[in-house]
A and B are shown apart, each in its own frame.
Chain A
Amino acid sequence: MWATNAKIVGIVLGTLALYTLIANKIPQVQSEVPQTLTLGANVTPEQLVAAGEKVFNGIGGCTTCHGLGTRAPNLLTDEKGTGPIGARCGKREAGKSCKQYLYESLDNPTAYIVPGYQPIMPVMTRQLSPQQIWALIAFLESQGGTVDVTASDVPAAAAAAAAGAGGVAGFAGGSTDPKAIIPAAGCLACHKLDGQGQVIAPDLTHVGARRDAESIRKKILDPMSSIAPGYEKLAGIMPKTFGSMMSAAQLEALAQYLAGHK
């Protein structure tokens, strides 16, 4: 019986060892806690690229869509014969440098939709700090191109952010003009309003006929509170952070404005 017991123990330990070995042989990816990125005044391009790579693979969440070939354009490898992003970014828009193009793509992703893809990218300048944004741009430039992001870009962006593009002051520098809030908040990336914007989410042109101001306010604060019929599959896509990103006055102005769209 000892021989049988030894065989059983051997099989159990052998099976466990095999599974453990295989799991250790595959690429090891740990999900890190997002860290605040602090860049000094003397930061080098190499340091920016290294920091940007971490943002790309980590807190930026870029790998969720980019690089899979289906949801968004490849950035690190060739995209339909145009090369990786660093090689093609300077040629995408006439008169715009690679750096400008990448910053605008992160700040206003719907500005340059690559044909064949849906406008699903969130506004990254609201999710990442200016330091993270510029590190990310440096990393993307390094993919087949030349890194020209310098330390001087970073404070400039920080200052711009402090001037009011987001934060507690709200969208559009705190303006309570709904026509300024809507594009600044990126509503048109998914919704259509008065002939402008995308049709991923419900058309808002006649939203006032379906919802009153109270319902719109609630929907902005808690997007999952109600789902428009026919859009159940998209439930969860609308960020639930708008409520905390605009002032109470902006929210009220927006709700009233949309409720007026009968």
Chain B
Amino acid sequence: MTDHLLLLLQAASDTTRAYGEFPLIGARAAVWIAAEVHLMFAAFVLGVPMFAVVAEAIGIFGGDERYDRLAKEFTRLLLVAYSATAIWGAVLVFFLATLYPRFWAYLTAVFGPSMWVYAALFFLESFTLYLYYYGWDRWKRDRAKWVHWGLGILLNVWGTIVMFIANSWLTYMMTPPRDITPATDPATIKLWHAIANATWMPINVHRLIANVVFGGAIVAAYASYRFLAARTDEERAHYDWMGYVGNFIAISALIVLPFAGYWLGREIYQYDQSMGITMMGGFMSWLWVIQAFLIAVLFLTGNYYLWVGMERIPGAERFRPYTKYLLVVLVLGAIVWGTPHTMIADSKELAAMGGSHHPFLGALGVMSAKNTAVNLMILTTFLSFLLYRRANTRPVVPWARAGTLIQAAMFALAAAVVLFYGIRGYFVDAIVRIGFSVYQVLAVLSCIVFVTVIDISLGRGAKSLGAIQWGKMPARSQYALFVLAVTFTWLMGLMGFARSGVRQYWHVWQVVQDTSKYAATPALGYASKMISLCVLIFLSLVAFVFWLGGLAEKSTFVAASGPEGAKGARHVGH
């Protein structure tokens, strides 16, 4: 009895020294907000330079100055956003050091040297960004332009390394190497051993792609606001185009993202099955239904934007009758994807359902149906984009008809492969069924690659049916871009909760336990309020940041708008 009391006193004493308190919202909410908003800004400032450099390269190699200007505009958005990233990063560190001092001490004991490198790289990244932006007009010709482009690449290199370092800290919390136990002295853990943990590289890749998606979506929202606020046709044309490019970047990268997510999920399962099951079939199972809903919104809104955009393309009317069929496939796919499968239910709920699965819908909730649905949704979105791309051209190459038929056959073949393995999956063991998803993905990716290659060849010398009327876009399409930006941001918050929450009551999985009063992992309802609050803070700050950026930019835009307007009528953007 005395021993028990002593243990309790010891635990209370440990906990007192281990945690601080934050007024009103509590320590966990404070760290949650700081981390999430920091991460959102960080994703933006890491994603945008990637496509800024690509846009600049298109400007250099293609000789189209609009892309160079677009790249500069992307980079201008970075400047103030970069400061906000640093500020929120500092807030996060201060919160961790004061509210979770013991855990922070543990992390610094393991990762101290990498934190120094992180700070040094942050300096390098900052100054490279300033050089890149402020040197834009000075180094815009000949060899100097190449040097400038090199700075852009360097900016991406620093940013990527910074992200990789930060990722090592959070993935260590999730999947520490197996030989590390609660008894391991953190000072004895080899730095590289801790960094190269099971989920480090999958998270690195997943975040690289996700940052591009996120950056594209925020840029598109910025462009849509500028479009709605535009006072001249030239300005409207420019921001219509910019919005299209941003959306194109976001949706294109989004299509690849599930494959990186699949890799991450597999690594989690291989590291610890119980963690994987908790994530997919345990208390977090409902989260994936919400995720399916959000992704359905993304697919539907992204396609809607393309379909509305076809209204400003001469010749697009011949494809309009097909959009309703595309919509049917997308809606059916979204419904199947959102059908729950494994989730926690109490005895009353199970009795009401008539068993562990719904007698009819249960068959749609399994992986075979879901994989089939999402692959068909990706194919459909690609088809929407292809129709958009083709809208104002008519191929003139001699093999145009044969080429189009081959493209159609590729779509049909890919869909058939997806459906075949989807149906076959119901008749084989789970271990075999998992392998089928690889064939489905390969069929879809192959179709996308080969159809695109054929389409580029088909488009050579194609007869124009008229230029895209950039700027002649209904306002509702621009509001769709806002819905996309909000949904992407919310989805990012939700996935952050999934990744972090799967640790449950551990700071470091099965190594450092959370003994604070906030150790329980909250339900999705509470998490959704926190996510919405973070998204609101982030978007409000972004609006302020972009407004600030606009103050300095206006005059330069007007000066360049004359020739822009003339060029804006050309068929561009892909």
- Give CA–CA (A61, B519) in the complex, Å: 18
B93 within 8 A of A: no
Pick the residue among B281, B293, B522 that contacts A64 (CB under 8 A).
B281
Q: Which of A34-71 contact B (CB under 8 A)?
A: 34, 57, 61, 63-64, 67-70
Tell me whether A15 and B483 are in contact (CB under 8 A). Answer: yes
Chain B residues with Cβ below 8 Å from A32 are 520
Which of A23, A64, A67, A236 has the most chain B CB within a 10 Å cutoff? A23
Q: Which of A73-81, A93-101, A104-112, A156-164 contacts B (4 or more CB under 8 A)?
A: A73-81
Tell me whether A33 and B520 are in contact (CB under 8 A). Answer: yes
Known A16-B536, A63-B344; contact A236-B271, beta-carbon cutoff 8 A: yes
- Give CA–CA (A223, B273) in the complex, Å: 14
Tell me whether B431 and A233 are in contact (CB under 8 A). Answer: yes
Tell me whether A31 and B178 are in contact (CB under 8 A). Answer: no
Query: How distant is A147 from chain B, measured CB to nearest CB, in Å?
Result: 15
B277 within 8 A of A: yes
Pick the residue among A1, A23, A64, A235 that contacts B278 (CB under 8 A).
A64
A29 within 8 A of B: yes
Tell me whether B290 and A23 are in contact (CB under 8 A). Answer: yes
B200-218: CB near A (< 8 Å → 1, else 0) gives 0000000000000000000
Tell me whether A11 and B482 are in contact (CB under 8 A). Answer: yes
Chain B residues with Cβ below 8 Å from A27 are 286, 343-345, 349
Which of B281, B347, B357 has the most chain A CB within a 10 Å cutoff? B347
A237 within 8 A of B: yes
Query: How distant is B500 from chain A, measured CB to nearest CB, in Å?
Result: 12
Closest to B536 in A: A16
Pick the residue among A30, A76, A78, A143 that contacts B521 (CB under 8 A).
A30
A7 within 8 A of B: yes
Closest to A25 in B: B525
- Give CA–CA (A236, B487) in the complex, Å: 35
Tell me whether A61 and B283 are in contact (CB under 8 A). Answer: no
Closest to B517 in A: A33
- Give CA–CA (A22, B527) in the complex, Å: 12
- Give CA–CA (A143, B351) in the complex, Å: 11
Chain A residues with Cβ below 8 Å from B532 are 16-17, 19-20
A249 within 8 A of B: no
Query: How distant is A211 from chain B, measured CB to nearest CB, in Å?
Result: 18
- Give CA–CA (A101, B177) in the complex, Å: 39
Query: How distant is A188 from chain B, measured CB to nearest CB, in Å?
Result: 20
Query: How distant is B472 from chain A, measured CB to nearest CB, in Å?
Result: 18
Chain A residues with Cβ below 8 Å from B490 are 15-16, 19
Chain A residues with Cβ below 8 Å from B357 are 69
Q: Which of A198-250 contact B (CB under 8 A)?
A: 222-225, 232-233, 235-237, 240
Chain B residues with Cβ below 8 Å from A222 are 178-179
B261 within 8 A of A: no
B275-299: CB near A (< 8 Å → 1, else 0) gives 0011001110010011001100000
- Give CA–CA (A217, B269) in the complex, Å: 25
- Give CA–CA (A33, B294) in the complex, Å: 30
Pick the residue among A8, A34, A63, A236 that contacts B482 (CB under 8 A).
A8
Tell me whether A61 and B225 are in contact (CB under 8 A). Answer: no
Q: Which of B506-547 contact A (CB under 8 A)?
A: 514, 519-525, 527-529, 531-532, 535-536, 539
- Give CA–CA (A11, B277) in the complex, Å: 36
Tell me whether B479 and A8 are in contact (CB under 8 A). Answer: yes
B229 within 8 A of A: yes
Chain A residues with Cβ below 8 Å from B505 are 31, 33-34
- Give CA–CA (A1, B514) in the complex, Å: 49
Pick the residue among A13, A16, A28 that contacts B523 (CB under 8 A).
A28
Tell me whether A12 and B539 are in contact (CB under 8 A). Answer: yes
Closest to B231 in A: A1
- Give CA–CA (A224, B269) in the complex, Å: 13
- For A, the interface residue count at a CB cutoff of 8 angstroms equals 48
Query: How distant is B273 from chain A, measured CB to nearest CB, in Å?
Result: 5
Tell me whether B350 and A67 are in contact (CB under 8 A). Answer: yes
Query: How distant is A158 from chain B, measured CB to nearest CB, in Å?
Result: 14
Q: Which of B147-178 contact A (CB under 8 A)?
A: 178
Known A23-B290, A31-B504; contact A11-B479, beta-carbon cutoff 8 A: yes
Chain A residues with Cβ below 8 Å from B531 are 19-20
Pick the residue among B283, B286, B487 that contacts A15 (CB under 8 A).
B487
Chain B residues with Cβ below 8 Å from A20 are 528-529, 531-532
Query: How distant is B25 from chain A, measured CB to nearest CB, in Å?
Result: 17
Tell me whether B535 and A16 are in contact (CB under 8 A). Answer: yes
Q: Which of B451-483 contact A (CB under 8 A)?
A: 475, 479, 482-483
Tell me whether A19 and B528 are in contact (CB under 8 A). Answer: yes
Known A24-B528, A74-B355, A224-B178; contact A29-B520, beta-carbon cutoff 8 A: no
Closest to A224 in B: B178
Tell me whether B273 and A237 are in contact (CB under 8 A). Answer: yes
Query: How distant is A139 from chain B, measured CB to nearest CB, in Å?
Result: 10
- Give CA–CA (A229, B525) in the complex, Å: 44
B383 within 8 A of A: no
Chain A residues with Cβ below 8 Å from B274 are 61, 64
B410-444: CB near A (< 8 Å → 1, else 0) gives 00000000000000000000110000000000000
Pick the residue among A13, A29, A70, A240 that contacts B344 (CB under 8 A).
A29
Query: How distant is B152 from chain A, measured CB to nearest CB, in Å?
Result: 31
B270 within 8 A of A: yes
Known A12-B486, A57-B344; contact A29-B356, beta-carbon cutoff 8 A: no
Tell me whether A235 and B270 are in contact (CB under 8 A). Answer: yes
Pick the residue among A4, A22, A31, A70 that contacts B501 (CB under 8 A).
A31
B228 within 8 A of A: yes
- Give CA–CA (A61, B277) in the complex, Å: 10
B553 within 8 A of A: no
Query: How distant is A30 from chain B, measured CB to nearest CB, in Å?
Result: 4
Tell me whether A240 and B178 are in contact (CB under 8 A). Answer: yes
- Give CA–CA (A107, B483) in the complex, Å: 54
Pick the residue among B283, B479, B535, B536 that contacts A30 (CB under 8 A).
B283
Chain B residues with Cβ below 8 Å from A78 are 355
- Give CA–CA (A13, B278) in the complex, Å: 32
- Give CA–CA (A11, B229) in the complex, Å: 16
Chain B residues with Cβ below 8 Å from A8 are 225, 228, 479, 482
Known A224-B178, A236-B272; contact A68-B281, beta-carbon cutoff 8 A: yes
B3 within 8 A of A: no
Closest to A227 in B: B270
B350-384: CB near A (< 8 Å → 1, else 0) gives 11000111000000000000000000000000000
Chain B residues with Cβ below 8 Å from A223 are 178
Tell me whether A64 and B482 are in contact (CB under 8 A). Answer: no
- Give CA–CA (A33, B517) in the complex, Å: 10
- Give CA–CA (A69, B355) in the complex, Å: 8
- Give CA–CA (A74, B356) in the complex, Å: 8
- Give CA–CA (A140, B359) in the complex, Å: 25
Tell me whether A30 and B286 are in contact (CB under 8 A). Answer: no
Tell me whether B347 and A225 are in contact (CB under 8 A). Answer: no
Q: What are 7 contact pairs spanning A and B, CB under 8 A?
A: A16-B486, A19-B531, A26-B289, A70-B430, A224-B178, A232-B270, A233-B431
Q: A23-B528, A27-B344 are in contact. List 12 more A-B contacts (CB 8 A).
A: A19-B490, A23-B524, A24-B528, A26-B290, A26-B525, A63-B282, A64-B282, A222-B179, A235-B270, A236-B270, A236-B273, A240-B178
Q: Which 7 A-B pairs have the closest CB atoms?
A: A23-B528, A69-B356, A28-B523, A31-B521, A224-B178, A24-B525, A76-B347
